[in-house]
Amino acid sequence: MSDGARAWVLHVDLDQFIAAVEVLRQPELAGRPVVVGGRGDPTERAVVSTASYEARQFGVGSGMPLRTAARRIPDAVFLPVDAPAYEAASARVMETLRGLGAVVEVLGWDEAFLGAVTDDPEALARRAQQAVLAATALHCSVGIGDNKVRAKIATGFGKPRGVFRLTADNWFPVMGPRPTRDLWGVGARVARRLSALGVETVDRLAAAPVEELVAEFGPRMGRWYAELGRGLGPTEVDDSPWVARGHSRETTYQRNLTTPGEVEAAVRELAAQVWQDTAREGRAVFRVTLKVRYAPFVTKVVGRKLPAPTTARDDVVAAAVALAERLEPGREVRLLGVRAEMVMPDDGDPVERTPVRGRL
């Protein structure tokens, strides 16, 4: 298909990436339900990092407790998380994509945006699939869009191993009748808040008065959701080095924490670890967030912006401890997590946006 050369955004997403890496290492697992999470022991407290397509057919997915996954699929293969192996596989994939001559913006281990000027984005998508498969034996799906939002959402229609184009021309025919939950960045909680406004579908979101969305979500997010309903989004693909916005540490405890003293000690330990992570980068912390999962499985997140950015260990730890004081008294805790968000580098540093470039 040829539409004349123009700028396109492609979203490349590795199919069942972590499970696929494990199957490559153990070919005898092909076709079996594979669940990766924690230390690979479904009797311990941990959650699913990823599940093979065979496991997903039983309703097993990321974030589910391993114990629940084991009840659904007693004969599944449970494997521990091996981050170094996934990082190495991801690095090979990204290196391969860069060899295509497009701008590559890495989003994580298993996904990236490609930016290119071409008259045949489908051909580029297939080249990407073929190159990744030849170099790594991994399959991927590719979404094609006229911006990042549409490209990202398009990938879901292409899975597995396919290619799908989503642009302004077919946005409403494809997405209009779908629930808002199908939009990138709309989770269950936001979908419920939209539903309370009478907004159930994408086309209803696109037609919703902006002032109503702003009143519900605030000026920044309200306008963002209004644009999201119409499929609008950024078009620039940035290949500059990724810079972390923050660092997080979390632990699932094999025995519930039952006293305020236990919780405070655990929060102090996690906060100190997070501060060490930020100290290595030499950037100040401006916000601290505490995640708690109460027994049996209720998760809450609280956060606070610091009075001023700081590089002091005691300030970061004290902020986390203060957040712990806001937890519900008397409730047993099974998981805690601390996140510290850092001041980003000045404009002109590696995070500055760059336009799509390259002609294919």
Mean pLDDT of 245-256: 93
Q: In this model, does residue 2 exceed pLDDT 60? A: no
- Please state, for a pLDDT cut of 70, what percent of the chain lies above it: 95
- pLDDT tens digits, residue range 82-97? 999 999 999 999 999 9
- Rounded CA-CA distance 238/215 in Å is 32
Q: In this model, does residue 352 exceed pLDDT 60? A: no
111 in active site: yes
Tell me what pLDDT residue 243 has: 80
How far is CA 250 from each of CA 65, 85, 253, 307, rounded to the nearest angstrom?
A: 15, 21, 10, 24
Mean pLDDT of 234-250: 90
Annotated active-site residue in 54, 111, 122, 281: 111
User: Looking at the chain, how many residues does it have?
Assistant: 360
- Rounded CA-CA distance 9/237 in Å is 7
Distance from the first to the final alpha carbon of the chain: 14
Tell me what pLDDT residue 360 has: 46
How far is CA 44 from each of CA 243, 249, 299, rounded to the nearest angstrom?
A: 34, 19, 18
Instruction: Work out the pLDDT band at 39, boundaries 50, 70, 90.
Output: very high
Tell me what pLDDT residue 4 has: 78
Predicted TM-score (pTM) of the model is 0.80
For 315, residues 6+ apart whose C-beta sits below 8 A from its C-beta are: 285, 306
Whether the CB-CB separation of 360 and 118 falls below 8 Å is answered with yes
- pLDDT tens digits, residue range 64-74? 999 999 999 99
Q: In this model, does residue 8 exceed pLDDT 90? A: yes
Q: What is the CATH number of domain 1-165?
A: 3.30.70.270
- List, in sequence order, every residue forming a beta bridge with 50; answer none if it has no partner: 36
| CATH architecture group of domain 246-342 | 2-Layer Sandwich (3.30)
- Rounded CA-CA distance 161/95 in Å is 20
Instruction: Work out the pLDDT band at 3, boundaries 50, 70, 90.
Output: low
Instruction: Work out the pLDDT band at 347, boundaries 50, 70, 90.
Output: very low
The full set of domain ranges for the chain reads 1-165, 172-229, 246-342
Peptide bond into 296 cis (omega under 30): yes
Instruction: Work out the pLDDT band at 346, boundaries 50, 70, 90.
Output: low
Q: In this model, does residue 77 exceed pLDDT 90? A: yes
- Rounded CA-CA distance 288/319 in Å is 7
- pLDDT tens digits, residue range 19-36? 999 999 999 999 999 999
Q: In this model, does residue 111 exceed pLDDT 70? A: yes
Assigned fold of 172-229:
DNA polymerase; domain 1 (1.10.150)
